[in-house]
Amino acid sequence: MHLRNSKGQQGFFGDKLSETNKKQLDSLGVKWVELRSKNGYKRFAGALRHLNIPYQDFIGDINQRLSQIFKEIFA
Q: Kindly report which listed range (1-5, 35-39, 56-60) carries the lowest average pLDDT score.
A: 1-5
| Those residues with Cβ within 8 angstroms of residue 10's Cβ, 6 or more apart along the chain or in another chain | 2, 3, 4, 28, 29, 30, 31, 51
Residue ranges covered by each domain of the chain: 2-73
Q: What is the pLDDT of residues 13-57, one digit of tens each?
A: 889 999 999 999 999 988 889 988 887 877 888 888 888 889 888
Instruction: Give the pLDDT confidence score for residue 51 in this predicted structure.
Output: 83
Q: Give the E-state strand segments of 1-75 in sequence order.
A: 2-4, 10-14, 31-34
Q: Is the pLDDT of residue 66 over 80?
A: yes
**pTM for the whole structure:** 0.64
